[in-house]
Amino acid sequence: MTASKLQVSETYQKWRKIKDQLARYGVVAGGLGVIVAIVLIFFYLMYVVYPLFVSADAHALYQYELPEKSAGKSLHLTTEEQNEVAVRFTDQGKAVFFATATGKVLKVQSVVPEEASISSFSVGTPSRGRIAYGLNNGSVLVARHKYQITYPGDKRLITPQLEFPLGEQALQLDSQGQAITHVAFRMGESGTTLVARTADNRVLLTNFFKEESLFSDDDSFERVDVEIDVDSKDLEYILLDKEQRNLYLASRTGRLSVFDISDKENPHLVQHTELLNVGEKLTSLVFLTGELSLLAGDNTGLVSQWTAVRDVSNHMSVQKLRVFKVSDYAVVGVDAEQRRKGFVAVDAKGAVGIYHSTAERELLRAQITSAQPELLAMSPRANVFMLQDEQGMINVWCVENEHPEVSIKSIWQEVWYESYPKPDYIWQSSSSSNDFEPKYSLTPLVFGTLKAAFYAMMIAVPLAIMGAIYTAYFMTSSLRRVVKPSIEIMEALPTVILGFLAGLWLAPFIEENLMAVFSILLTLPVAVLLFAYLWQYIPKGIRLRIPEGTEAAILIPVILLATYFAISVSAPMEAIMFDGSLISWFNTEWGIGYDQRNSLVVGIAMGFAVIPTIFSITEDAIFSVPKHLTVGSLALGATPWQTMTKVVLLTASPGIFSAVMIGLGRAVGETMIVLMATGNTPVMDLSVFQGMRTLSANIAVEMPESEVDSTHYRVLFLAALVLFSFTFIFNTLAEIVRQRLREKYSSL
């Protein structure tokens, strides 16, 4: 070899080594990049989700003496929304407005005339700022504290004000002039209701309702006065819900009487129940936000939640939902948040706890004071609470409690929600009202995801694997070159098109021809088997004209004729056997409902989308089995079918298993088909005629509408983390199984 040729050869070898090194490092870098990307996705999801499970934090802001002590003892304490101005209403009928940060008195205003004698006090809906004083002459005075915000010199100025919604003159409730010892009231657009207990143990209900005139813009108010027949000697608490429909009367011993006052002229008793055990004392009774539930604190340190539940007969009864252990000492104060289903409670030793009812979660516990607590108030935004003790000190604490609604129990276990007859798994993330109780159970979404994947795989796996076996092993090469690309090109069809067709064409078609669908499912296998049986009796001369491996083409007209026959006979069969409607028969006889967009539609549409993936990988795995294995098996006397089942399938089993798992991953993560072909109802029903909501579809529907960094937003990321973990774990297990199958059958 000449020197020039030797030099060219060495240069070529060096360049080849360089390319090999570049390819090796490129593959390694690509693999590591994929791993890094997956890890980064996982940790980003964890970063967004982690705050959901962080407990609340609180720290002291201010402490000062009670402002304007000469104005009397505090009956009620609260702050405005910005936490800059607070107010206390006293037993002398005065409203003392003061700066939350310093305790500096801003304004003192009389609510009740000095000549009047105060006998009771009540707070209306906290968010409305309304309060009421009961007087010893049988009258009630209602007032409202409000705050005007201005910006003189670009600096915020909050000016407190008092107004009197029912007039500055006290409203006479008791014509006998007995003192009002307890009072409750609610005001709405259509009227006002007041309930009072008098000193002689009578319970009076007064309602003012608006009458609109057809010929005048002036509205008149009619008054209804009713005495409620109830034993009120031990009555301690009166609560009236904001809808002015339900009245709750409770004694110190925990006996609760519930009245339906929808008809103000004829209130009637609904239920008597005991909130506490014998010997226990009721120390606090307030509404939870939304006023569908009661929070009852007792002398044993427990706070229990009670709500009105209607049974299947529409009969209402108050039942206990859950219990919170606040302390070993008596609960002396409970105050509910105004915008969430949380509440704050304080015991007799000055320890404060913050809880969330739906999540059944204790978020914070802190020792605030060593003195006996008197009043506890949570700010409107639930980011500050105030505690007044018997030593005349006010303690102001800041609270950081962003996501109290979520706990492991509320996500994965059954939760008894307000007004529901029993605990259940429910996803209902939003509503038009702040009183709404968010329901963040991921269980129905996971169930829907698995249900959709199950029905899709039921349709896709048999068709894809059996089709791949025939195509790779029995079909002629010329026909295979047509069939395999044709099926693989199906995968290029966008899933949004499949979802569109499934939702707008397939779902109505199946609903109108459900009997035909079942007839086809029964007729096609019988027709194919019958044709296969009759094929052996066809004259040999005719059979030999059909090239070996192309017999499947003859089945096409058989399948078409069988389908036509099934559709033709389905209508008469449905009329004879099911009174003309199979759907109605299912509902009447078996109690099975039918939704137009259901699991059957999803299974067919998503199965159609998954078939190309499973078919292509399975066909490649079977076709790649070494020829010497099949030839050797046939040479030893095995039939082609025996060779397929005993040799080819075992050797190709790792690839077939991978195909199924990849298809399952595709089905689990599918979004557009389940989004458009189901009703997106998060129900847990195994019926093939009911819809579902999957994790991926739920994220696609609700993520655009969720507030960034809100609880809803982070729960959707939690759903994404669950979906990510699900696919990661299943793919990892699939790879382990595949490797073991490869090792087991590699010696063949």
pLDDT of residue 545: 76
Of 187, 131, 138, 118, residue with least CA distance to 163:
131
* 3 state DSSP class of 333: strand
- pLDDT tens-digit map of 683-741: 888 888 888 888 988 898 888 888 888 888 999 999 999 999 888 888 888 888 878 87
C-alpha dihedral, 452 to 457 to 460 to 462, nearest 10°: -150
With tokens 């072909």, the residue in question is 677
pLDDT of residue 365: 92
- Measured over the CA atoms of residue 100, residue 102, residue 107 and residue 108, the dihedral's sign is positive
SS3 assignment for 435-491: CCCCEECCHHHHHHHHHHHHHHHHHHHHHHHHHHHHHHHHCCHHHHHHHHHHHHHHH
With tokens 């389908």, the residue in question is 563
Q: In the chain, how long is the greatest CA-to-CA distance? A: 131
pLDDT of residue 284: 92
| pTM of the entire predicted model | 0.85
Q: Tokens at residue 655, please? A: 């690839």
d(CA 680, CA 664): 20
CB-CB contact of 475 with 712 (8 Å):
no
Of 340, 345, 357, 366, residue with least CA distance to 297:
345
Strands 139-150 vs 171-172: parallel, antiparallel or unpaired: antiparallel
CB-CB contact of 134 with 119 (8 Å):
yes
d(CA 380, CA 387): 15
Q: Tokens at residue 524, please? A: 């096609």
Query: What are the beta bridge partners of residue 343?
Result: 336, 355
pLDDT of residue 285: 92
530: left (phi over 0), alpha (psi -120 to 50) or beta: alpha
pLDDT of residue 582: 84
E strand map for 84-190: 85-90, 94-99, 105-110, 118-123, 130-135, 139-150, 157-163, 171-172, 180-187
pLDDT of residue 354: 94
Question: Count of CB atoms within 10 A of residue 382's CB?
Answer: 22
pLDDT of residue 640: 84
d(CA 413, CA 169): 54
* 3 state DSSP class of 106: strand
SS3 assignment for 635-653: HCCCCHHHHHHHHHHHHHH
Q: How far is CA 609 from CA 263, 306, 445, 473, in A?
A: 58, 49, 21, 24
d(CA 299, CA 284): 9
Question: In the chain, how many H helices and how many E strands?
Answer: 17, 31
CB-CB contact of 133 with 141 (8 Å):
yes
Q: How far is CA 213 from CA 192, 219, 223, in A?
A: 19, 6, 16
Who's near 208: CB < 8 A, 6+ residues apart?
A: 191, 192, 193, 221, 222, 223
Mean pLDDT by 10 residues, the chain (748 residues): 64 82 89 90 92 90 91 91 92 92 91 86 88 91 92 89 88 88 88 90 87 56 85 88 90 90 87 88 91 91 90 80 91 91 92 92 90 91 91 92 90 89 87 74 92 91 91 83 86 86 88 88 89 82 73 83 89 84 84 84 90 90 85 84 86 86 86 83 86 88 87 92 88 81 68
d(CA 135, CA 290): 29
d(CA 743, CA 86): 75
Q: Residues 419, 425, 426, CA angle at the centre, nearest 5°?
A: 65
Q: Which CATH class is domain 444-508+596-745?
A: mainly alpha
Of 597, 604, 605, residue with least CA distance to 673:
605
Who's near 326: CB < 8 A, 6+ residues apart?
A: 297, 301, 302, 303, 345, 347, 353, 355
Domain spans of the chain, in order of start: 444-508+596-745
pLDDT of residue 316: 81
> What's the DSSP call for residue 385?
E
Residue type, 451: K
